[in-house]
């Protein structure tokens, strides 16, 4: 099982109404994108972190490890914005290298910080939704919003097939290690290529078997999943409304 799924099924917020968590995440992310405010990004990161770790019961180390993955990519991609090679030094910093300078401006540094902050806060919103809401509950919210059934069923099938492929890849990897297929770097590269080719063929076979299994259970073009109806708590809705109004005020104040 994917680590995020394990954390989701252990979360203390799992049984909170899925619609509340969905709209909290979506509206917060919308305000973040509209404002691109660094202060709002810090506030959202703190709130989502507090809700996830304290209220959700997810370990701080696990949460930080999940956040570190997109952070590394963001830092590497933002280097192109904040680092320049020029013959003229800029106002933020300048490191002489021969006849050139590795330099950057204060404006580019601020923009890079805003970019990283907005992206990380948006990722924390998606993590809040995925770490406390099961896939079936998310699809239930989308169906309630009249999302096309074809789209939701494709999402459910793709989600299910991820675990099928992971299980197949794990079995192939164990078999390769048992035959010393990863004894050095050269054989590891070769084994990885063979695993990719074998996984492609296994994927077609497992997908056909999965479809046959669905048809044998009277599949008629729609997947029906039993979902629990969880009540909406006025206190939680009020807290979400107040927080979103605060973000709306910050967004309007930034635009003025």
**Residue range(s) defining the domain that contains residue 210:** 144-216
Map tokens 């989502």 to a residue: 48
| Residues 51 and 154 both lie in one domain | no
Which pLDDT belongs to residue 21?
A: 93
| Residues 64 and 125 both lie in one domain | yes
| Residues 68 and 188 both lie in one domain | no
| Residues 68 and 129 both lie in one domain | yes
The model's pTM is 0.81
Position 13 in a domain? yes
| Residues 129 and 148 both lie in one domain | no
| Residues 115 and 196 both lie in one domain | no
| Residues 63 and 157 both lie in one domain | no
Q: Which parts of the chain register pLDDT below 50?
A: none
Which pLDDT belongs to residue 24?
A: 95
| Residues 117 and 30 both lie in one domain | yes
Which pLDDT belongs to residue 42?
A: 93
């Amino acid at each position: 099982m994917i680590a995020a799924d394990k954390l989701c099924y252990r979360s203390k917020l799992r049984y909170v109404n899925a619609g509340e968590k969905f709209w909290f995440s979506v509206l917060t992310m919308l305000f973040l994108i509209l404002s691109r405010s660094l202060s709002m990004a810090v506030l959202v990161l703190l709130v989502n972190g507090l809700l996830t770790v304290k209220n959700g019961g997810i370990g701080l180390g696990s949460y930080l490890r999940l956040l570190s993955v997109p952070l590394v990519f963001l830092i590497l991609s933002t280097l192109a914005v904040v680092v320049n090679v020029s013959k003229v030094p800029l106002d933020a910093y300048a490191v002489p290298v021969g006849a050139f300078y590795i330099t950057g401006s204060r404006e580019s540094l601020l923009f890079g910080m805003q970019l990283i902050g907005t992206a990380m806060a948006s990722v924390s919103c998606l993590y809040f939704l995925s770490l406390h809401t099961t896939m079936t509950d998310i699809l239930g919210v989308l169906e309630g919003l009249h999302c096309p059934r074809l789209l939701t069923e494709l999402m459910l099938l793709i989600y299910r097939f991820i675990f099928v492929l992971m299980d197949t890849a794990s079995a192939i990897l164990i078999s390769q290690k048992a035959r010393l297929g990863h004894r050095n770097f050269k054989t590891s590269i070769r084994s990885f290529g063979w695993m990719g080719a074998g996984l492609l063929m296994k994927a077609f076979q497992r997908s056909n078997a999965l479809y046959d299994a669905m048809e044998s259970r009277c599949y008629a073009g729609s997947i029906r999943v039993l979902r629990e109806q969880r009540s909406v708590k006025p206190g939680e809705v009020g807290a979400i409304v107040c927080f979103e109004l605060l973000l709306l005020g910050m967004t309007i104040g930034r635009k003025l």
